[in-house]
Each structure stands twice: as C-alpha cells, then as structure tokens.
Amino acid sequence: MKVLVTGAKGQLGQDVVSLFQQQQHDVWGMTRNELDITDQEQCISKISEIQPDVIVHCAAYTAVDQAETDEDQAYAVNAVGTRNLAVAAEQFGSKLCYISTDYVFDGQASKPYTEYDNTNPTGVYGKSKRAGEWLVQNLSSKFFIVRTSWVFGLHGNNFVKTMLKLAQERSQLKVVHDQIGSPTYTADLAEFILQLVSTEKYGIYHASNAGVCSWFEFAKAIFEERGINITVDPCTTEEFPRPAPRPKYSVMDHLSIRTNGFEDMRHWRDALRDFLAKLG
C-alpha cells in the first residue's frame, strides 16, 4: 500500500510510520513543515502527487487546556485541516483513517460508551475533534474514525514519562482517582490501525488497550512495574483545577472491533510492562 501519514513526528505518528515501513508499505510521513493541513490547495496538490491508497491522519491540535483560549487554531487544525484531507482523499479515491478521542464524550456515563452512543463534548478540544469526525463522515465515502484514549508511547511526552520524572524529584505524589478510562500504548494502536486500513470495514472504532483504571491506579502500576518506592495519594479533580473539563468516565466499549471480527488489544498492564522494557 501507498500510505500518507500526517503528524508523522507525533507520539502515534512515529509508531505508525515505522510499523508500516517494517511491513514493506510505501510510506510518506508528513510533518507540519512538509504538509500544512490547514491549506486546502497544499493538501490537494500533495495527495494528487502521491496518490496514496490510505491516509492515516494523526496530526491534531492536542493542547487540551490551551484550546480553551486558542479556539480558532484548534478548529483550524482539527476541523478545517481534517476537512481538507477528507476532500482530497475523496477526490483521489484514498481511504481516510482519522484518529479521534474519548473527549468527544461528556464523561457522564456509568457504563462504557459504544461507537454509536451520542457524543457530547464539553471542551473546545473535544468539540473540535468531534467537528473533524462529522466532516469525515459527511465528506469521505471510505473512512475509518478511530477514537482512542490516554495514549502513551516511546516518542513525545505522556503520563507515564511524567510520573517517572516526578518520581526522581519527589517522594510523595497526589494523582486524581475520580477520572476513569483506559490507557493505550501507541505501538498496539499502530498495529490495530495497520490491520484496519487493510480492509474495507469502514466506520467508527473505539481502540484502547483492554481494562479500566483511574489515573491514580495507572500511576501506582507504573511505579510497581518499575520497582519505585514512592507514596502515591489519591485526590479529586477539584483539587487540581484545569482550564478544560476532563471526562470523569471515558471508558469506551470496543463494539466495532468485536462485530467486525478484529482481535481486541491486550490489557493495558501488559502493554505498560512492554513499554517500560523498551523505554529502558
């Protein structure tokens, strides 16, 4: 396959590029400098030149708190940029895989969200990502929307790396226990994306590692796996006010993975163990 990857220097993008290359696909990894997705003419020209079979759209505005005051830029990237790729993909017959987020839900549920539950994002980041989904669904006839959550990987910053860094500086930490979700290892997510885009099983997918935890439980697991002796105390979201609202409960049911015959991703704890071994 000829594959164009946006956000190729991002946490997920780097894993997608390297995995697809290992599997002998022709990969064009695009950074912001090589493809400005907010420029429609540039998108059409680049996709016309490459004629990819698949576009894996990992590029996004992900600064959740900053988005609250930088609304135009969040929408320019997450909505307009995604529309530009959807239009170009449709023009040249490419499949489009858009990476979305658990933030499209309000977090008020008490059981896992399926792909067909109503979305209700509360912050600018979630709303702009949902706008991207809507545009993909309406402008592309060959699309995959992959919603994921709590992402960690070897590249870039993430919760696991932050916890390990803080453990070097402190003997005691407070971590929120009233936000519940599922961690996702980028290497596992990239594997799923590779399987998915090789098919014509279009639609919306929830893809995270199996299992559920709070951030507090996730932090404790990180230190246990690393053998780090540190006191971790649970606290509430209210004790750590942030500009953007966080979903309290963003566990996603993998209904589409099951009903389309894909193998589900392994438990997050196994993925964490594997990641820490690679991190060294």
Q: Does residue 115 lie in a domain region?
A: yes
Query: Residues with Cβ < 8 Å from 17, sequence gap 6 or more?
Result: 5, 8, 27, 29
Expressed as residue numbers, the domain containing 66 is: 2-158+183-209+250-266
What CATH number is attached to the domain comprising 37? 3.40.50.720
Cα 104–Cα 17–Cα 259 angle in degrees, nearest 5: 50
Residue 79 DSSP class = I
- Residue-wise pLDDT for 67-78, tens only, equals 999 999 999 999
Query: Residues with Cβ < 8 Å from 234, sequence gap 6 or more?
Result: 174, 175, 176, 177, 214, 216
Indicate whether 104 pLDDT > 90. yes
Phi and psi (nearest 5°) for 223?
-70, -35
Distance between CA atoms of 270 and 280, rounded to whole angstroms?
16
Bridge partners of residue 146, in order along the sequence = 99, 205
Residue of 125, 185, 205, 249 marked catalytic: 125
Q: Does residue 244 lie in a domain region?
A: no
pTM of the model: 0.97
Mean pLDDT of 99-120: 97
Q: Does residue 131 lie in a domain region?
A: yes
Q: What is the DSSP string of 209-274?
A: -BS-EEHHHHHHHHHHHHT---EEEEE-GGGS--SS---SB--B--HHHHHTTPPPPPBHHHHHHH
Q: Does residue 238 lie in a domain region?
A: no
Q: Does residue 127 lie in a domain region?
A: yes
Asked about 125 being catalytic, the answer comes back as yes
Q: Does residue 222 lie in a domain region?
A: no
Distance between CA atoms of 24 and 27, rounded to whole angstroms?
9
Mean pLDDT of 135-153: 98
Distance between CA atoms of 53 and 205, rounded to whole angstroms?
20
- Residue-wise pLDDT for 211-256, tens only, equals 999 999 999 999 999 999 999 999 999 998 899 999 999 999 999 9
pLDDT value for 41? 97
Return left, alpha or beta for 238; rule: phi > 0 is left, psi -120 to 50 is alpha, else beta.
alpha
- Residue-wise pLDDT for 172-220, tens only, equals 999 999 999 999 999 999 999 999 999 999 999 999 999 999 999 999 9
- Residue-wise pLDDT for 77-90, tens only, equals 999 999 999 999 99
Structural domains counted in the chain: 1
Half-sphere exposure of 92 (CA within 13 A, CB side): 22
Q: Is residue 266 within 8 Å of residue 210, measured between CB atoms?
A: yes
Q: Does residue 109 lie in a domain region?
A: yes
Q: pLDDT averaged over the chain?
A: 97
From 128, 6, 139, 136, select the one nearest 72 (Cα to Cα): 128
Cα 159–Cα 253–Cα 269 angle in degrees, nearest 5: 40
Q: Does residue 177 lie in a domain region?
A: no
